[in-house]
Structure formats: structure tokens, C-alpha cells
Structure 1
């Protein structure tokens, strides 16, 4: 179990209430040992998810945040139902958990009694949240056993590996919107979908050889020390050979 998971398990065991701040990257809100909300700087928060569909305006959310009455102002005005809010909360929490559990952040700090403005509309048992994140991480690794593409720009290959390919709707959407600069998490924001959905599509595309994989720098050869008492000789460098070698590397 990773450090953040162990700490949350301990806080749940003593029914803690408050906010666990994970460096500058995220916050976990607990009420009597249950996770009511979780946010990461890298994934869309509940405010962004609520306004993404257009039914709830930023002004509506700002008013609800200021009044700190949970979702009551949103329900009272008929902007969304409790079930819709619960689903958006679930999306935000699971995405944030997947990212935060996979990072080695600075020592978290716990602030007792602090709560999120929405309150306890939805909650996770800590062990259930950890188990779901393990399930999702395992699924990602089954598709493509490396996280090298999770934080890298999504770059489609310039040529198909065969005569034809079959894509799901999500895979096609990711390829269409991939501009060579956006990471999977940034694409998730553009597509108004979950980070996990896009991460899974990206790994599926990688497994199908439809994405350019990041190049890893080759390890430098170890320098062999010269025998004691010998003099190192430097042979003249063939500049034309170096130019041809550089040109060949640029064409790869």
C-alpha cells in the first residue's frame, strides 16, 4: 500500500473529519472517516464538471460556493437533480484518486474539521476507493504495461501499421483531438470526459501502434579508466562522418 493510501486508511480507522492536503497537488475531504470529496490539480474538479455541459453556469456555481449550502441552491432552482450531482461527484473523485494515489507527493498535512463547500452528498469508504483505483490501474497495465504515455503529449503516427484499423468512438475522438501537444489529462478536459476513459483509450491506441511512443535517451557508455602511466591519445575527428551521422539520426 502506498503512503497516501496508508494515511487515509489510518484516518478512516479513527473516523477523522477534515481535509488532507497533498502538497500543492490535491485535497482529500473526509467526514467521520469517509471520503466525501477528492480533487487534484491535474483533473477536472466538480465546479468544472458541473459547468461543462452548459446546464449550470459559472455564476450558478459561484453562488452555491459562496452560500456554502451544499447543492441546495442548484436543486432549488431545478438546475440539476441530486442523482446528477452524485454522478459528477463520483467522476471527479475517482479521477483525482487515480492521479493522487499514483504520485509521491510531499508529506500531506491534515486540517481537522475543514470541509468542502458541497458537503456530504456522496461518499466513498476508503478501502472501496483504494480497491477501485487498483482495479483501474490494473486494467490500464493490462492494455499497455507502461505509464510512459500517461503524462506525455498524445501524438498519432503518420502512417497506419496496416491496411485498415478498427476504432471505438472514444479512440477516434482522442485521435481527432490529439494535436501533438495535449496530454491525456488535457484531452479529457477538452472532451468533457473522465481522465480514466482517455487514459484507457490512449493505452489501447499505443497497443495498436497508432501513437508515437516517447523516445528514451540511450544510456551513456561507462568510461573505462586508462591504465596507470599511460597517455591518452586523441585521434583526429572526421567531420564529414559526423555530419552524415547527424543527418541519418534526424531522418529516423
Structure 2
């Protein structure tokens, strides 16, 4: 559907269960997802803009769909900074919106977002970046369950083994907050938080949820075979990590 809409130079909203892409003349001008902090959170929690200044901009310019232009013209945010933040929010939300298995896809012609035009991006570039990000996460730690499970700290990793960004993440890992919760609290893109979560999980600093327990009554030979298969997968993973480290060094 996205390819067809690009060919049509369509304007409107592409809706999926995991988020929404806003198009103007076939280009992506904005994206939103419940899994990603919005541009408002990136600007305010990140310290670039006071919350009351953001609300003032929405009140003044939201109805006419020009909040972005208003922020720049009123001197609240420099144009270049707004563009960078907007692109970060767009690619972040698009990653989740375009994820496989996100349910039915539908398009509403003529729908516009109140942020207004900031920095349009070709839809092909958005789709390529979403695919690249999925591949990167798989290379870092091929256990996608850590992306949505509450973040649980593991014990025994020296503080020097993690970066400042990762320490801030770990400080909020209370066993109840998900990576998306932590991203909102830190005012960071959700994808960047997932990268840190997967790296920390690969390093043993974050617990990876255990595989499902075999159903009660499973014959012992089948249970043993399942356990052996899991062990083989773990060994293969460790070898891939070792080869990757050797290549990087």
C-alpha cells in the first residue's frame, strides 16, 4: 500500500495498529506510535523546550496545523534543532509503525497532522531505515522479547563496563518499567533505548526473559530435545558474538 500511495503522490494518514504515517504528496511528513515518545516529549523532557512553551505553541497554532512553524517563528526552538528533533521522532515512530505483524493497514485521504510541515522524507528512505534498524537489533541480541518486557537488572557487571547513557537507563530499570517507559522518562527515542537494552542484555547486565516452560506432561525425551536445541542455539549465538568482537577489534 505504501508503494502505491507514493506512486499516487497521496496525501493523508496511513494507519496501522502500531502507529500512523502522515503523507503529503507521497512523502512522509510525520509519524506517531504508542511505542515511541512523541516530538513533544523529545523536546520537553530532553530539555530543549519548557512544557508550558510547547503547550502555548499547540494552543496558538495547532488548529491551523503549523505548530512547527510557530515554534521557529516565535523563537522557541531554532529551525535546525527542530528539524533534527522532528526527524528523530519521525524515524523512531516509523520503525514501530512499519514493523511486521502490525495488523491491518488503511489509509485516510486528506488527513493532516497538527505539527505541520517540518522536514519531509521520501517514503522509500523511511522504509529502508526501518528495515536497517530491525536488522541491527537482531545482530546486537537476537531476543526481541527484551524490547517489550520489563527491564530487569542482572547482578555482577562492573559499572565501568557501561556507558553514561546506559547507566541512566539502568537506574530506571526497576523490574516494572519497559524500554518504552524508560525512553519516555529519559526523553529519548525508543529505538535508541532498545539498542542500549539489547547491548546490555548481550553483556549480561539485563536479564533476558526465559523461554516458555514445556507444558506439563511433555514426555521426557521431548523435553530433553528442546533443552538440547536451546543449548545449541546459545552456543551458536556466543560464537557469533565472539566473531563479531574479533572483527570489530
Give the structure 2 partner of residue 155 of structure 1. Answer: 152
Tell me how far 1:76 sits from its aligned partner: 2.3
What is the TM-score normalised by the length of structure 1? 0.78
Number of equivalent positions: 215
Instruction: Pick one of 4, 14, 29 that aligns with 1:10.
Output: 4
Which stretch of structure 1 is more off in the superposition, 49-58 or 189-198?
A: 49-58
Q: For each residue in 1:169-211, what CA deviation from the matched residue of structure 2 results, as whole angstroms up to 9, or x when unmatched?
A: 1111111121111111110111111111111111111111111
TM norm structure 2: 0.79
1:44 is the counterpart of 2:1:
no
Unpaired runs of 5+ in structure 2? 220-249
Higher RCO (C-alpha under 8 Å, 6+ residues apart): 2
CA–CA separation in structure 2 for the residues paired with 1:22 and 1:190:
25
Query: 2:165, 2:136 → 1: CA distance?
Result: 17
Structure 2 vs 1, CA of residues 105 and 143 (structure 1 numbering), >3 Å: closer, same or farther?
Answer: closer
- Runs of 4+ with >4 A deviation: none
* Cα deviation 1:191-235 (Å, max 9, x = unaligned): 111111111111111111111221233222447xxxxxxxxxxxx
Does the aligned pair in 2 maintain the 1:51–1:58 contact within 8 Å? no
Partner-residue secondary structure (3-state), 2:209 = coil
Q: How big is the shift at 1:119?
A: 2.4
Q: Secondary structure at the match of 1:59?
A: helix
Taking the aligned partners of 2:31 and 2:107, their CA distance within structure 1 comes to: 14
Larger Rg: 1
Which structure dedicates a bigger proportion of its chain to helix?
Answer: 2
Uncovered stretches (5+) of structure 1, i.e. residues with no partner: 1-6, 224-252
Q: 69-78 or 171-180: which moved more?
A: 69-78
Partner of 2:198: 203
Note the aligned Cα RMSD (angstroms).
2.1
Q: 2:58 matched to 1:64? A: no
